[in-house]
Amino acid sequence: MSATRSPRRSEDGRAARARSTKARIIAAATELFTTHGYAATSVTAIAAEAAVGEQTVYYAFGHKRAILSAALDVAVAGDDEPVPTLDRPWARAAIADPDPLAQLRRQVSGAAEILLRAARLLDVVRSAAITDPDLAGVWDTNVRQRLTVQRVFADALAGKTALRAGLTPETAADIALATLSPETYNLLVHGRGWSAEQWRDWALDALTGMLTTLPRPMPPSG
């Protein structure tokens, strides 16, 4: 019996190693970007943190902006699968839930999970976008994507309960975009010392009151 590996197995092994290397680079870059900032983090430092060669980083991503963009995608999604937010199970469940308050609860919980992973990195992108036109594009794209998600949620909510007087689904989406923004999350959680649970309870109460005429959710017991 031949001990030679099949070409398919060899290819699968190389792909798995490449994916693992990219994951290490992204994890290292995320730590450095959120600790030291984008401008102060070099590709050399990222390579050292990831324990790979500098050329390996360039081969995998091309340049530092691409590393930050990839790191942001992974932080928002929670994995490296190319699945849009609206196709994620939590988002589909929120849209499908017939109870409007339950939809808002799922919506806020999903945002809380994303911001727990991504809020600091989003702040890095927002700050760097001021002087870097390419990262300004990354930031603008992220805002547009978040608004698209909130518009779908707002349309779903409007189909389940009356919005507050004078609100359109478009305005409701803008309000949700601001309430669930990384800027607000960073201010309250990382700036004012709120727990993620406190932020989640506040966001649910705020959205319920600002968007609907539903009774405000009961605070958690204990």
Q: What is the DSSP string of 115-137?
A: HHHHHHHHHHHHHHTTT-HHHHH
Question: What pLDDT is stored for residue 1 in this prediction?
Answer: 45
**Conformation bin of residue 60: beta by default, left when phi > 0, alpha when psi is -120 to 50:** alpha
How many domains, in total, are found in the chain?
Answer: 2
Where a domain ends, among 82, 107, 123?
A: 82
Q: Are 10 and 77 contained in the same domain? A: yes
What is the model's pLDDT at position 218? 64
Per-residue pLDDT of the chain (222 residues; tens, 9 = 90+): 445 556 666 667 778 888 899 999 999 999 999 999 999 999 999 999 999 999 999 999 999 999 999 999 999 999 989 899 999 999 999 999 999 999 999 999 999 999 999 999 999 999 999 999 999 999 999 999 999 999 999 999 999 999 999 999 999 999 999 999 999 999 999 999 999 999 999 999 999 999 999 887 766 544
CATH assignment at residue 22: 1.10.357.10
Q: Say if residue 55 is in the same domain as residue 91.
A: no
CB 140 within 8 Å of CB 210: no
Q: Are residues 12 and 87 in the same domain?
A: no
Asked which of 22, 49, 82 is the last residue of a domain, the reply is: 82
Q: What is the pLDDT of residue 219?
A: 61
Q: What is the pLDDT of residue 150?
A: 98
**pLDDT value, residue 222:** 43
Q: Which residues of 13-42 are buried (b: 16+ CB within 10 A; e: fewer)?
A: eeeeeeeebbebbbebbbebbbeeebeebe
Q: Is 161 helix (H, G, I), strand (E, B) or coil?
A: coil
Residues 132 and 221 in one domain: yes
Q: Give pLDDT, residue 24.
A: 96
Domain residues for the domain of 6 are 1-82
Secondary-structure breakdown of the chain: helix, strand, coil percentages, each rounded to the nearest 5: 75, 0, 25
How far apart, in Å, do the first and last CA atoms of the chain sit? 66
Q: What is the pLDDT of residue 63?
A: 93
